[in-house]
Each structure stands twice: as C-alpha cells, then as structure tokens.
Chains A and B, each alone.
Chain A
Amino acid sequence: MSLTPVHLQFIAIGGLWTIGLSAIAFIGGSIIGFALALARISPSPLVRRLAAGYIQIVQGTPLLVTLFLFYFGLAVIGLDRLPAIVAAGFGLVVYSSAFLAEIWRGCLESVPKTQWEAAECLALTRWQRMTRVILPQAMRIATAPTVGFLVQIVKNTSLASVVGFVELAQAGKLVNNTIFEPFTVFIVVAAFYFVICYPLSAWSRSLERKLNVGRR
C-alpha cells in the first residue's frame, strides 16, 4: 500500500492539532512563565527560591516523564476519563513555563540596574517601574529568543503522542501502522514540521540580527 490523499489529509489534520497544542502550550506557558520570571527577580528571597526550585525541577525532568506524570497523576486524582489533550496540555504548559521564565528573567536582568534606580528616584511604584520602564526595554530583547523557543514548543508537542494525543507525529505513526511505509510517512511528517518551524526559526534569526544592528 502507499500513501493516499486520505492519509495525507489525516496527517494534515494532525498538523493542525500540533499547531493548536503549541498555541495552548505557548499561551499557558507564557502566563505562568511571566509570573515565574517576575518571581525570580522578586525582592523576597523566599519567592525567588520557590520559583527557582520549580524551574529547576521542571528543567531537570525530561518532558516525556512530565507528560507521563500528568497522564497518571490526573488518573490518580480521579480524572482518568479526560481527553488526552488535557494531560498533554498541562505537561507542555508546565514545560514551557519553566523555559520561558528563564529566558525572560535573563531579558529583565539585562536591563541595567541604573534604569531601575532612575525610575525609583522619580517616585514610581515598583509596578510602574516594571511596566513603564523595565518591561518595554526587556520585551525588545525578548522577542527573538521567545520566537526561537516557539520552535522548541512545536517540536516538543510531538511527545504528546505518548499520552495518546493524535497530533502530527502520532498521526504519522498511525498511518504507518496501516501502510507500513515508514520512510515515506516520516519524511512527510518531518516536512510538515519543517514547514511550521522553519519560518519561525528564520523570523527569530532576523529579529536577533535587527536587535544587534540597533545596538551596534
């Protein structure tokens, strides 16, 4: 048997799920990751340490194991009838949040301390210093690595297949199980990923170049 348009369509739908799951991971991860980045530079040592601990634990665990933990963990608290996307979504959100937090903390810290001080001396509140002075500068630096990490997210959604979520990689696996043409099938699947990821990579690189030119 060979790859038919029906198979291709099935894989393409998997591709849409990959994009959807990536969006969930990125949005959820951004919200938690941003809070974590703020916690990492908090004046309170306890808050800083808690955030650092969370990040270290998540970054020290393979995403695959994190996904298993959510899959079996949800079952443990009696939520074993949920669709696969729930465990996959939770796992990827947690994973993204830790990495985004570290990326953004670096960007926040790269804004010189004197900018904090200048804003403080103008009687701005901590919140105003953050939102009006530090964040706008940090965000300029953050876009390139953030887009770069988006590529990691898209690729890592492929692991959601282990908890039974049918995204691009799993769709490929299922098609391969029926036609047994692994070489063709996985090249096609890889091509789908490439089409999603390459523009993001290129965008990230051009953003970085622009930033470097701007800085000189």
Chain B
Amino acid sequence: MSAVVSLSNVHKSFGAVQVLRGVSFEVGPGEVVAVIGASGSGKSTALRCINALETVDSGEITVCGHKVHDPALDRRALRRDVGIVFQSYNLFPHLTVAQNIMLAPTCVKDMGKAEARKLAESVLARVGLSEKADNYPEQLSGGQQQRVAIARSLAMQPKLMLFDEVTSALDPQLTGEVLRVMEDLARGGMSMILVTHEMAFARKVASKVIFMHQGKVWETGPGAMLDDPQTQELREFLHNGL
C-alpha cells in the first residue's frame, strides 16, 4: 500500500533563512511518526508545508494523493483529509465546545445540525469531555481545550493527523490526559505525525522517529533509536534535554 505522506527533497526558505534544506520522509498507513529536534530545526515548518499552510520552494509533497507542491492544489480537499492541532489550541472563543466541533462538518460537509451534534458528542466522548459540550473554551483548562481541539479535527474524519507540540503549553499533569488521547488514536490505526518534546512518549508510541537538525532529516529509526543514537548531534540533543 502506498504512503499516506511522502516528502521528497523539500526546500523552504523565509527570506534569506533556509529552514528546510532537502527534507525527505514517508509515513505509511497507520504509522505514527514522531519528529524531534532542537528549536528552530524546522519541525513546525515541515508540518505546515504538509498542510499547505506554507508553500514549498522546491521538492515534492504528496499527502493522501494530493500533490501539495502543485500550485493548482485544491487546498480545501487536502484539508478534508488532514487534521492539525497546534500548540496554542486555537479554539474559536465565541463558540461553545460543541459549536466549535460542529462548525466544519456543517459548513464543509453540509451535515444537518442534529447529526453534527451527535457527531460532536461522539468525538467528545472519545476525548473524555462529554460533559463540557456546552461550555465555552475559556471555561476549560488548557488540557481540556487541547482535547477539544483534537476532537474538532477528528470530527472531520481525517485520514492523517498532524500534532505540533500540542502539550508544550501544558502543566505535566495536564500533559498526561492529552497524551492518552493521542495514544488511543494511534492504537486505533490513525496515521499521525507528531512534533514533540516528550521523548518517553515518542519512544512508546511512535513507529518511527525522525530527528531533524538544521533543516534536514538527520537520523531516522524506530523508537529504540532514542536509546542508541547513531549521530553525535542526536546524542547531544538527547543529552541536553530540549
């Protein structure tokens, strides 16, 4: 079966700053890929390129059959297949939790209100927040907001989920509840790319770990790679913590 995501020799610069300098990797169906690397190594930029939030300078990206590098890309079609969750949740503050989740299915998939509400309740149950459906985002803790953000993406039934440091803004005890949701998703067979600083989580859940350094994929391997780094840079990265 072909890859859900494939990047081949992707370059991306912001002005004079070369952020991605020939990035290539693949994500197979049901695979969970953890991307690690120092701050500024280009992890977020890579994720944003995959979701066409940034346009690449050169190289090819294919996601669920969409040619993302193609200027004629149908972005909306791509985004129906790809869910993304950010570090800062980005929930819509003027909508309740349920409305946040129902917005895309009703707008994009022309789903009826009642059906969308049922869908919202079911995804909320998956992230363990059924009782918060009618609260506003500001009434929730950071961990709860992040789980709502995940639920909001899940409601579109994506084929691929992207997570960009989704626990970095959270206290340790709130981090756990979000990671559990992601682990469930992984076990359920969702294809995922997660940028993370949680090494233990990457080791446990990821089928593949990608270490990025200076805009390149420096080292790739199974979760166990973290116990036996091959390159000096990864060794230093793991040693110095973040």
Q: Which A residues contact B (CB, under 8 angstroms)?
A: 114-115, 117-125, 128, 132-133, 136-137, 140
Contacts and interface: CB of A to CB of B under 8 A. Distances in A.
A78 to B, nearest CB: 49
B156 A123 contact: yes
A133 B108 CA distance: 14
Contacts of B93: 137
A136 B103 CA distance: 13
17 contacts: A114-B86, A114-B90, A120-B53, A120-B75, A120-B79, A121-B153, A122-B104, A123-B77, A123-B79, A123-B108, A125-B107, A128-B108, A132-B103, A132-B107, A133-B103, A136-B94, A137-B93
B204 interface: no
Interface size class of B (residues with CB under 8 A): 20 to 34
Interface string B69-113: 000000111011011101010111110000000011001100000
Pick the most buried of B83, B88, B107, B152: most chain A CB atoms within 10 A of its CB: B107
B167 interface: no
A128 B108 CA distance: 9
A122 B90 contact: no
B191 interface: no
B107 A128 contact: yes
A123 B104 CA distance: 7
Contacts of B82: 121
A122 B82 CA distance: 9
Contacts of B53: 117, 120-121
A36 B33 CA distance: 45
A124 B80 CA distance: 9
B51 interface: yes
Interface in B34-62: 51, 53
Given A132-B103, A136-B94, A140-B94, A121 B108 contact: no
Contacts of B84: 121
A168 to B, nearest CB: 39
Given A122-B79, A124-B107, A117 B156 contact: no
Contacts of A132: 103, 107
A121 B94 contact: no
Contacts of A133: 92, 103
Interface in B165-221: none
Closest 6 CB pairs of A and B: A118-B90, A123-B79, A122-B104, A123-B108, A136-B94, A114-B90
Interface in B135-164: 152-153, 156
A122 B152 contact: yes
Contacts of A114: 86, 88, 90
A140 B93 CA distance: 12
Given A118-B86, A132-B103, A132-B107, A125 B76 contact: yes
Contacts of B91: 118
A140 B156 CA distance: 28
A125 B79 CA distance: 11
A120 to B, nearest CB: 7
A122 B94 contact: no
Contact of A121 (B51, B77, B92, B107): B51
Given A122-B156, A125-B76, A137 B94 contact: yes
Nearest to A121: B84
A167 B88 CA distance: 53
A117 B90 contact: yes
A122 B92 CA distance: 12
Contact of B80 (A118, A123, A125, A140): A123
B90 A115 contact: yes
A140 B104 CA distance: 22
Nearest to A123: B79
